[in-house]
Amino acid sequence: MALLTILSYPDPRLQTVARPITRIEEHHHLLIRDMFETMYESKGIGLAATQVNHHERLIVMDVSEDASKPMILINPRIIWSSSERVMAEEGCLSVPGFYDGVERAKEINVEFLNERGDINTLQAQDLLAICIQHEIDHLEGKVFVEYLSFLKRNRIKTKLLKAQREQERA
Ligand code: GNR
Ligand code: NI
């Protein structure tokens, strides 16, 4: 097992559009294990492969209170979204320390492959639906701060770049 390095905004690698997985191989199972370890260690509820600089369409999640419901979504695709929207505070392991409101579909249906390559569908609402939409955005090269105003996004970008420069000097 290994902890993976999470890319921080505004790292341009976070803008990569991930490729579909055509065959699930042994190295994917190892990556999934390491992504769960990294997500749980960071107290996150989801992690997209993009965030650990692996550009295939793979997400791990666990929105339970007690880290008891790990979920793996391979090649996830939203096949239906409710017109009803909800505004909720979001954070991101790639945008450490910043939180802001984002509006998303309240309910979605998602089609995906599980780790054995079987097609599944899932109906999700509220936090789970928000998390899946947030993670699929990562696979499309999109970070939640892109929904914020130019002013807010730039303030976050400047602060994170400054923190990263100070980290490098330390
Ligand atoms: O840990 C996370 N919490 C969170 C809270 C509200 C909306 C989305 C999320 S996902 C985030 C982990 C992360 O960055 N996943 O990409
Ligand atoms: Ni995120």
- Interval 61-89 mean pLDDT: 98
Nearest Cα neighbor of 78 from 125, 143, 44 is 125
What whole-number percentage of the chain has pLDDT above 90?
Answer: 98
138 CA distance to ligand 2 middle (Å):
7
Ligand 1 is surrounded, with C-beta below 6 A, by 44-48, 51, 90-94, 130-131, 134-135, 138
Nearest Cα neighbor of 58 from 3, 18, 96, 27 is 18
Could you report the per-residue pLDDT of 82-112, keeping only the tens digit for each?
999 999 999 999 999 999 999 999 999 999 9
Asked if 49 and 35 touch (Cβ cutoff 8 Å), the reply is: yes
Answer whether residue 1 shows pLDDT above 90: no
Amino acid sitting at position 8:
S
82 CA distance to ligand 2 middle (Å):
22
Task: Give 79's contacts (C-beta < 8 A, 6+ positions apart).
Answer: 109, 110, 111, 121
